[in-house]
Amino acid sequence: MTSHQLQPAIDPVVEKARLTTLVEDIVAEARRQGASACEVGASNDAGLSASVRLGEVETVEFNQDKSFGITVYFGQRKGSASTTDSSSDAIRATVEAACDIARYTSEDDCSGLADASLMATEFPDLDLYHPWGINTEEAIELARECEAAALAVSALITNSEGATVNTHQGCRVYGNSHGFIGAEASSRHSVSCVVIAQKDDEMQRDYWYTVARDGNLLDPMADVGRIAAERTVRRLGGQKLKTCKAPVLFSAELAGGIVGHLMAAISGGSLYRQSSFLLDQLGASLFPDWVRIHEQPLLKGGPGSGAFDGDGLQAYAKDFITDGVLSNYLLGTYSARKLKMKSTANTGGARNLFIDSNAGDQTALLKQMDTGLLLTELIGQGVNIVTGDYSRGAAGFWVEKGEIQYPVSEVTIAGNLKSMFLQLQAVGSDVDRRGNIQTGSILIDGMTIAGH
């Protein structure tokens, strides 16, 4: 493949038909080998990634990945195997391997396919597939443009970790021995930039990125580079804080993590293993009564959209938090059976999560906070879903009288998620729409900020 060629294109109609036929053949082969039930996930993904650093090409990568994940059931004994080879011999051998595993596993009364009556029957066009017709040279030039914009912002930008352009497209098909077949083609494109600023002996780094289903909807390269550089420069001159208790404003790009911790704690796997601080909390008030957290899986063009879950169940919009109250757990078929409940069609997780705003943008939230810490970076994984204890390294800006005073580094923020949820003061209108969890900045009262 020459540098001017486009990434390998996937024709969604042809590929859906091809993978559907293969999935049906695999299910039939599993039946031939004695399995009482079978489910198959098949995918074909293609992508291009180009990175530059200081104007020079660092990497150019093409990828094309095919995979088949096969699960068979002998009653309630389960076996799984996977392959990247779609030849009939390879499929036969992989099914055989899955069957061999199933014969030797112990029975699990919660295993098996979801009920046939629950299979999805509606497959709306969710507008997820927009291949980006750029070739390698064009991808490199876009990365150069992005990085150059960053380097031009200030003489304090002294180095770069580079800019990267990614384009990806794929097709996934799930089918099972109920006769269910679901197919979805999707695309995802992104551009990111990371630069380093230096003043005297101090160095700081920061980044920015843009992501979209449709390459034409990405932010301009110059904006991505400029924002990455501005974020980096403003971190210079970081000071330490004395240990205190103060409000913390999680910037929008970090705030989704708070919602993510909630979802981890109400997920079926954590609940049936009794490893969650939110056991037996269905119907309990976890947040102030204005808070609503909900998923919208059928959102057109959404970053997490899909018509069916990993078990083939029809995806549907639902609340997890209504008026501050926990109204649903996050359940797939298996975890629902373990808990003697009904699946919420969330095998594979929630899709397009939103926490509704009740306030203005970040500037308005700084004024509302008055004095506290604006958080722009979190470090480490100090979150315990069993106890709810929360402790993370952090950096950001100290705020007084609603105005940023100076950058802050080398602090730790600590609290307990249950208390943090109840002390949620505001969710901003500055919604970060780049990920599966969409939220504005989140203001939480009274966290411990450990400095020196």
Mean pLDDT, contiguous 10-residue spans, the chain (452 residues)? 51 91 96 96 95 97 94 96 94 96 94 95 96 94 98 96 97 97 96 96 95 96 98 93 95 96 97 97 97 98 96 97 98 97 96 97 97 95 95 96 95 96 97 96 96 76
- Cα→Cα distances 236→19, 48, 250, 270, 409, Å: 52, 35, 20, 41, 10
Tokens 């094309």 map to which residue? 64
Closest to 184 measured CA to CA, from 318, 348, 354 = 348
Q: Closest by alpha carbon to 166, among 53, 46, 305?
A: 46
pLDDT score recorded for residue 145: 98
What is the pLDDT, as a whole number, of residue 9?
A: 66
Question: pTM score > 0.75 for this model?
Answer: yes
The bridge status of strand 325-326 relative to strand 318-322 is: antiparallel
> From CA 36, how far away is CA 392, in angstroms rounded?
48
- What is the DSSP-derived secondary structure letter of residue 432? B
Q: What is the residue-wise DSSP string for 201-267?
A: TEEEEEEEEEEESSGGGSPPHHHHHHHHHHHHHTTTT-B---SEEEEEEE-HHHHHHHHHHHHHHTB
Please name each of the domains of the chain with its CATH number: 12-232 (3.30.2290.10), 238-452 (no CATH)
Give the number of other Cβ atoms within 10 Å of residue 452's Cβ: 8
**Measured between alpha carbons, how far is 49 from 162 in angstroms, rounded to an integer?**
13
CA 92 – CA 33 distance, rounded (Å): 9
Residues, the chain, total?
A: 452
Among candidate residues 61, 193, 222, 192, the one with its CA nearest the CA of residue 136: 61
Cα(272)–Cα(340) distance, rounded to whole angstroms? 10
Q: What is the pLDDT of residue 380?
A: 87
3-state secondary structure of 116: helix
The SS3 assignment for 140 reads: helix
The conformation of residue 118, written as its DSSP 8-state character, comes to G
Cα(337)–Cα(272) distance, rounded to whole angstroms? 10
DSSP code of residue 327? -
Per-residue model confidence (pLDDT) at position 230:
97
Spatial separation of the C-alpha atoms in residues 168 and 7, rounded to whole Å: 9
Answer yes or no: are the C-beta atoms of 426 and 258 closer than 8 Å.
no
Other Cβ atoms closer than 10 A to 96:
15
Residue 51 · residue 203 · CB < 8 Å: no
Q: Which of 231, 295, 267, 291 is nearest to 444 (CA)?
A: 291
- Which tens digit of pLDDT belongs to each residue from 335-385? 999 999 999 999 999 999 999 999 999 999 999 999 999 999 999 888 999
Pick from 11, 5, 10, 133: nearest CA to 60: 5
Report the run of H or E that residue 108 belongs to, with start and end.
Answer: none
CA distance 341 to 329: 10
Token pair belonging to 270: 């954590």
Please tell me the distance from the alpha carbon of residue 259 to that of residue 241, in angstroms, as a whole number: 27
CB burial class (10 A; 0-12, 13-18, 19+) of residue 184?
buried
